[in-house]
Amino acid sequence: MDIFKRIQNNPGVLGQWSKQGHGYFMFPKLEGEIGPKMKFRGRDVLNWSINNYFGLASNEEIKKFDVEATKKYGFSNPMGSRLMTGQTTLHEQLESEIADFLQKEDAFVLNSFYQGMVSIIDCLCGRDDVILYNADIHASIHDGIRMHTTKRFIFQQNNIENIENQLKKACEYAKENDGGVLLVTEGVIGISGKLAPLDKIVALKEKYDFRILVEDAHGFGTMGHHGMGAAEHLGVQDKIDLQVGTFGKSLGLMGGFVAGKESVINYLRYNMRSQTFSEALPMAFIASAMNRLNYIKENPGLRKKLWDVVSSLQKGLRKAGLDIGETESPVTPVYISVRNMQEAVHMMVDLRESFNIFCVHIIYPYIQQNKIMIRLIPTLLHTQEDVEYTIESLVKVTKNIKDGKYIDDKPMKADTEDDNNAE
């Protein structure tokens, strides 16, 4: 079959909904300064969808520094990949500071967190190695694993008996084939907010020969006494072999890093193809990342302010009888039972149109059928008033579902016209 005809017949899991949801549920346009109050389709909305945990994306002090860094370096400097002509003292300094902050020997800056995550797994694992992972992981990890024809084992996220059982099988298979074992997990599971049992997993190193890679995008900056992440929170920061993080959440920027043993980081530095053969991050971004990292180190009160909002939101949701699962992090899911997808769509539209609340909705196949998950990302910029209004609104839409107010046999299509945004 012709390639183009095939993709027209099968547009993909999300693509099949593009006509109904483009510009509304998928590829929506939030406008205005990044924060809790933004505009969607010309209307003011209460925004719970951006991972701007410490509000640095709109922090005036940070923005002023960014302007000066841009004036100094522009967006072109340096030109070229790090390997060839894009290496700078500033890049090296940021890597040193990340390593010091995380108490690791070395670190390497990733031009793209997503591409970097894929490339790390591709770089580390050979055809005889075994990858052990949990199903609830970020798409970047899935894509890195899918690139390999290696043997794979999946473990149940918080079942340490299952983890050990799968690890034992993985190690036996690796030994038979003269390979190694890489266990990959998120520290904070981004979709549910749960923590991987890293303390229990690293304890298994006493019995089994394996390495552990922790992707901790949501934990970096927010978890642990110093903000190192989920591993520090669980007291095993020194036991994690590789930690991967992003600048796109706590720091409110772009790019990321991988940190660990110097010899391993240097191997990755010279062999990660997506980084070796791509343009280095501009120096203005590097300077900004360093400034933001120093800002959160010098202002530990940021975490307290964030967690004040997180605690108020999560306690309030539970008190209101809403199901937020077992989150132990700022990521706050709200699970709501629905009869069908049509009802879920009506509820999501009502939440945006009647209550002016903008948040991410996650549906099957990413969670179980007949459920919808509303994922709230609290930031220290959210107020108690924001928290209370959101809880009240979610209670109301949940009651509407129970009362059958969103049942409609007519096909529902979100209005994707941008009339409200026309100048």
Q: What letters, b where the CB count within 10 A reaches 16 and e where it falls short, cover 335-370?
A: bbebeeebbbbbbbbbbbeebbbbbebebeeebeee
- Contact of 184 with 133, CB cutoff 8 Å: yes
pLDDT the model gives residue 414: 39
pLDDT the model gives residue 422: 29
Give yes or no: residues 311 and 410 share one domain. Answer: yes
Give yes or no: residues 15 and 153 share one domain. Answer: no
Domain count, the chain: 2
**Structure tokens that stand for 257 in this block:** 């890093």
Q: Which residues sit opposite 260 in a β-bridge?
A: 106, 242
Omega into 365 within 30° of 0, i.e. cis? yes
Give yes or no: residues 385 and 413 share one domain. Answer: yes
pLDDT the model gives residue 322: 97
Which CATH number goes with the domain that contains 228?
A: 3.40.640.10
**Radius of gyration of the chain, Cα coordinates, nearest whole angstrom:** 22
- Contact of 14 with 323, CB cutoff 8 Å: no
Q: Mapped to the 3 state alphabet, what secondary structure does 239-304 carry?
A: HCCEEEEECCCCCCCCCEEEEECHHHHHHHHHHCHHHHCCECCCHHHHHHHHHHHHHHHHCCHHHH
**Structure tokens that stand for 169 in this block:** 């099988």
Contacts of 95 (CB under 8 A, 6+ apart): 106, 107, 108, 109, 257
pLDDT the model gives residue 143: 78
pLDDT the model gives residue 149: 65
Which residue has 């473990």 as its token pair? 155
Domain membership of residue 49 as a residue range: 3-53+301-421
Tens-digit pLDDT string for the chain (423 aa): 899 999 888 888 778 778 878 888 889 999 999 999 999 999 999 999 999 999 999 999 999 999 999 999 999 999 899 999 999 999 999 999 999 999 999 999 999 888 888 889 889 998 899 999 987 777 778 777 877 767 889 898 888 999 999 999 999 999 999 999 999 999 999 889 999 999 999 999 999 999 999 999 999 999 999 999 999 999 999 999 999 999 999 999 999 999 999 999 999 999 998 888 899 999 999 999 999 999 999 999 999 999 999 999 999 999 999 999 999 999 999 999 998 888 988 999 999 999 999 998 888 777 788 889 999 999 999 999 999 999 999 999 999 999 999 986 443 343 433 333 322
Helix (DSSP H) and strand (DSSP E) numbers for the chain? 15, 14
Give yes or no: residues 206 and 119 share one domain. Answer: yes
Q: Mapped to the 3 state alphabet, what secondary structure does 202-242 carry?
A: HHHHHCCCCEEEEECCCCCCCCCCCCCCHHHHCCCHHHCCE
Give yes or no: residues 126 and 224 share one domain. Answer: yes
Give yes or no: residues 69 and 193 share one domain. Answer: yes
Enumerate the H helices of 272-415 as residue ranges: 273-276, 283-298, 301-319, 341-353, 384-402
Give yes or no: residues 153 and 233 share one domain. Answer: yes
Q: Which of 298, 318, 346 is the last residue of a domain?
A: 298
Give yes or no: residues 331 and 391 share one domain. Answer: yes
Give yes or no: residues 210 and 239 share one domain. Answer: yes
Q: Which of 387, 380, 389, 390 is nearest to 35 (CA)?
A: 380
pLDDT the model gives residue 191: 87
- Contact of 82 with 276, CB cutoff 8 Å: yes
Q: Give the integer Cα–Cα distance in Å for 57 and 103.
A: 26
Which CATH number goes with the domain that contains 353?
A: 3.90.1150.10
Give yes or no: residues 20 and 73 share one domain. Answer: no
Q: Which of 269, 298, 327 is the last residue of a domain?
A: 298
Give yes or no: residues 121 and 215 share one domain. Answer: yes
pLDDT the model gives residue 418: 39
Give yes or no: residues 338 and 416 share one domain. Answer: yes
- CA torsion, points 264, 114, 205, 265, in degrees to nearest 10? 10
Burial class of residue 207 in the structure, from the number of CB atoms within 10 Å of its CB (0-12 exposed, 13-18 middle, 19+ buried): exposed
pLDDT the model gives residue 408: 67
**Structure tokens that stand for 136 in this block:** 């609830």
